[in-house]
Structure 1
Amino acid sequence: MLFILYASVQAKAHYDTLRMLEQIQLENQKLQRVNENLRNELKKKQQELEKAKQAQNNNTKVAYLTFDDGPSTNTEEILAILDRYKIKATFFVIGNNSEFGKQMYRRIVSKGHALGLHSYSHEYRNIYTSATAFHSDMEKLRQLIYKATGQKPKIMRFPGGSNNHISRKYGGHSLMQTLIQQSVQKGYKYFDWNVDSQDAKRKVQPRDVIIQSVMKESRNKKKIIVLMHDSQIKVTTVQALPAIITELKKQGFSFDILSDTSFTYHFTLEPPYF
């Protein structure tokens, strides 16, 4: 009798356990469905946010001020102006192994600006004789900057731009195409420009011409990469900079630095450029 009673109790306990496990399984299935619904909702919201962010980015006006051929004493003045307006810019520098040059590399970085490569020598007759000569010159600059700042820039600008014709004279018609392909393979991101300040068209371009050129070429654009120069002779570029910043702000532009993930602009790679 006791055995039968014990067996009955055990059977009931087993049955209750099975029922409890079934209930737990049902609850788990419900939770899984709820979690799946939540994941789908979260994914949907993320997609909506990404679309909204993309739309906002497309409608946001951003100016990337870039300065080639420094550093020089003009670079110091430009850094002071940028500080005054609390904006950042990008400096595509050349080689300057003096203490002043290395100090300027460090100041550019410490101020939160971007540092890019523009060749060590900037001598077309040397850098554009071959791919080997070009990459050797660029690496020399990269190592100089690394020793001075601890940074190894991955952004660059070809002297004369990616569609320059003068390279043909020294390295042939296909050299630039080769350099572009090899530079990208090495992990560099290169930048041309879609707004030219015209400060390189003359040895010393009048201040007002520089301002007017930037304003004219930036009209009806959402993203602009502005080409300017901070070599020693470009004093009128420094003089024009405050007005350029002020006028671009009036047009609704904010300012940012170039990076390997930022907006870029490339000249066409089709003939007749190559």
Structure 2
Amino acid sequence: MLFILYASVQAKAHYDTLRMLEQIQLENQKLQRVNENLRNELKKKQQELEKAKQAQNNNTKVAYLTFDDGPSTNTEEILAILDRYKIKATFFVIGNNSEFGKQMYRRIVSKGHALGLHSYSHEYRNIYTSATAFHSDMEKLRQLIYKATGQKPKIMRFPGGSNNHISRKYGGHSLMQILIQQSVQKGYKYFDWNVDSQDAKRKVQPRDVIIQSVMKESRNKKKIIVLMHDSQIKVTTVQALPAIITELKKQGFSFDILSDTSFTYHFTLEPPTSKRGGSGR
């Protein structure tokens, strides 16, 4: 009798346990459905937010000021002007292995500006003879910057732009296409420009011409990459910079640095004459 009673109690306990497990499984299934619905809703909201953010970005006017060919004796003054207006810019530098040059690389980085590669030598007849020569020159600059700053820049600008004509003289018509493809494969993002300050058109371009060129070419554009130069002789570029910043602000532009995730601009097969490469680019 006791055995039967014990067996009955055990059977009921087992039955109750099974019922409890079934109930837990049902609750888990409900929770999983709720979680799935919440995940789907969150994903939908994130997509909507991303679309809204993208639309806002498309309507936001942003100026990316870029300075090629530095560092030079003008770099410190350019940095001071940018600091005064509380804006950041991008410096596509060349090789300067002096203590001054390495100090300027560090200054650019410490001020929160972007540092990009523009070749070590900037000698067209050397860097554009072959892909090997080009990448060797770029790597030499990258190593110099790394030793000076601890950074390995992943943004770059081809001397003369990505469709310069001078490279054809030394390396043939297909060289730039090869260099672009290989540079991208190496993880670099390259930038041309859609606003030319014209400061390289003459050895010393008048200040007012530089200002007017930037203002004219920036009209009706939402995103602009402005080409300027930081070589020693470009003192009028430095003189024009405060007015350029002021006028662009009046047009509603904010300012930012170039990066591997920022807006970019690449030349087409045949860029306008004003954007073709020359020794000043």
Q: Distance in 2 between matches of 1:9 and 1:150?
A: 74
Out of 222-231 and 262-271, give the one that drifted further.
262-271
Give the 3-state SS of the residue equivalent to 2:240 in structure 1: helix
* Cα distance, 1:271 vs structure 2: 9.6
Q: Is the 8 A contact 2:95 2:119 kept in 1?
A: yes
Give the 3-state SS of the residue equivalent to 1:164 in structure 2: coil
Q: Distance in 1 between matches of 2:133 and 2:29?
A: 66
* Cα distance, 1:11 vs structure 2: 2.2
Q: Distance in 1 between matches of 2:162 and 2:239?
A: 28
1:140-184: CA deviation from partner (whole Å, max 9, x where unpaired):
111111111111111111111111111111111111111111111
Q: Distance in 2 between matches of 1:171 and 1:211?
A: 35
Give the 3-state SS of the residue equivalent to 2:225 in structure 1: strand
* Cα distance, 1:81 vs structure 2: 0.4
Q: Distance in 1 between matches of 2:24 and 2:129?
A: 76
Out of 88-97 and 128-137, give the one that drifted further.
128-137
The alignment of Structure 1 onto Structure 2 pairs a total of residues equal to: 272
Unpaired runs of 5+ residues, structure 1, are none
Q: Is the 8 A contact 2:163 2:270 kept in 1?
A: no
* Cα distance, 1:7 vs structure 2: 2.4
Q: Distance in 2 between matches of 1:271 and 1:217?
A: 15
Q: Distance in 2 between matches of 1:269 and 1:94?
A: 26
1:231-256: CA deviation from partner (whole Å, max 9, x where unpaired):
00111110111111111111111111
Aligned CA distance change for structure 1 residues 84 and 217 (closer, same or farther; 3 Å): same
Q: Distance in 2 between matches of 1:31 and 1:182?
A: 51
Q: Distance in 2 between matches of 1:122 and 1:32?
A: 61
Q: Is the 8 A contact 2:207 2:239 kept in 1?
A: yes
Residue 117 of structure 2 is aligned to residue 114 of structure 1: no
Give the 3-state SS of the residue equivalent to 1:73 in structure 2: coil
Q: Is the 8 A contact 2:196 2:214 kept in 1?
A: yes
Runs of 4+ in 1 over 4 A off after TM superposition: none
Give the 3-state SS of the residue equivalent to 2:116 in structure 1: strand
Question: What is the aligned partner in structure 1 of residue 275 from structure 2?
Answer: none
Question: What is the aligned partner in structure 2 of residue 208 from structure 1?
Answer: 208
Aligned identity (percent) is: 100
Give the 3-state SS of the residue equivalent to 1:63 in structure 2: strand
Q: Distance in 2 between matches of 1:2 and 1:171?
A: 101
Output the TM-score relative to the length of structure 1. 0.95
Matches within 5 A, 1:65-214: 65-214=65-214
Output the TM-score relative to the length of structure 2. 0.93
Q: Distance in 2 between matches of 1:128 and 1:159?
A: 10
* Cα distance, 1:270 vs structure 2: 6.4
Give the 3-state SS of the residue equivalent to 2:74 in structure 1: helix
Q: Distance in 2 between matches of 1:10 and 1:128?
A: 88
Q: Is the 8 A contact 2:72 2:230 kept in 1?
A: yes
* Cα distance, 1:269 vs structure 2: 3.5
Q: Is the 8 A contact 1:177 1:269 kept in 2?
A: no
Give the 3-state SS of the residue equivalent to 1:225 in structure 2: strand
Q: Distance in 1 between matches of 2:175 and 2:46?
A: 44
Unpaired runs of 5+ residues, structure 2, are 273-281
Aligned CA distance change for structure 1 residues 271 and 202 (closer, same or farther; 3 Å): closer
Q: Distance in 1 between matches of 2:267 and 2:210?
A: 21
Out of 144-153 and 189-198, give the one that drifted further.
144-153
Q: Distance in 2 between matches of 1:108 and 1:140?
A: 19
Out of 177-186 and 98-107, give the one that drifted further.
177-186
Q: Is the 8 A contact 1:189 1:260 kept in 2?
A: yes
Aligned CA distance change for structure 1 residues 97 and 213 (closer, same or farther; 3 Å): same
Q: Distance in 2 between matches of 1:220 and 1:270?
A: 22
Give the 3-state SS of the residue equivalent to 2:115 in structure 1: strand
Out of 258-267 and 12-21, give the one that drifted further.
12-21
1:173-203: CA deviation from partner (whole Å, max 9, x where unpaired):
1111111111112211111000001111111
Aligned CA distance change for structure 1 residues 218 and 92 (closer, same or farther; 3 Å): same
1:60-116: CA deviation from partner (whole Å, max 9, x where unpaired):
111110000111111110000001011110001111111111110110011111111
Q: Distance in 2 between matches of 1:13 and 1:134?
A: 80
